Amino acid sequence: MSRFTLIVARDLRLALRRGADSTMVVTFFILIAVLFPLGVGPDTAILARISPGVIWVTALLASMLSLERLFQADFEDGSLDLLVLGSLPLEAVVLAKSLAHWLTTGMLLIVAAPVLALLLNMSAEGLIALVLAMLLGTPSLTLIGAVGAALTVGARRGGALLSLLVLPLYVPVLIFGVGAVDAAISGMAVRPHFLILGALLAGTLVLTPLAGAAALRQAVQ
């Protein structure tokens, strides 16, 4: 656990020193969400109806912006070779770096989401469901994205390839995340949506570190 914590702390320090990645993610999230009222008009009923989908799609796209650098910097400076050869299992390394990435991007999106939801005239019930759904859904987005980042390490134009790899896998999280908010706004049961989001998170916690570690081993060979 000490080695796991050290990797998380190292990535957090690097993210704080750079700062640009996290700022870019949040800025993109805010700008795209703000553009929707300008595009569809000031009708509050329409904005309230589309707000769950707008926020979730925007958050999904924003979370992808910094994924390419998740392992690429370590690959370029040789740190990835040391991580592969180290005593900590590579699966735990993938999990640690994913946790650090989520703390510096996913958490910021969750904090910004209620403000943007109010801008889009979302009801109070929808706000609560949105925050809870994003707490369950955004870690899954990061973990799935980590596999895509591992598969594209060292690849030319890896950002475009990464998008093609992970976007189809994001669809279940998007569907049930939006569904949870819509159900809360409509007064329907939200528990099934939360259970499925939790199941998706549990599945990604088990499977994505294995897939990511296998991709990283292949990348350094």
Q: In this predicted structure, what is the pLDDT of residue 19?
A: 67
- Give the mean pLDDT of 26-55: 85
Helices (H), the chain: 2-18, 20-40, 44-63, 69-77, 79-85, 90-101, 107-119, 124-151, 158-186, 191-220
- pLDDT range class, residue 152, cuts 50, 70, 90: confident
User: How do the domains of the chain map onto residue ranges?
Assistant: 2-220
Amino acid at 138: T
- Nearest-CA neighbor of 148 among 197, 53, 219, 58? 219
- Give the mean pLDDT of 30-45: 82
- Give the mean pLDDT of 64-93: 82
The predicted model scores a pTM of 0.90
Q: Is the pLDDT of residue 187 over 70?
A: yes
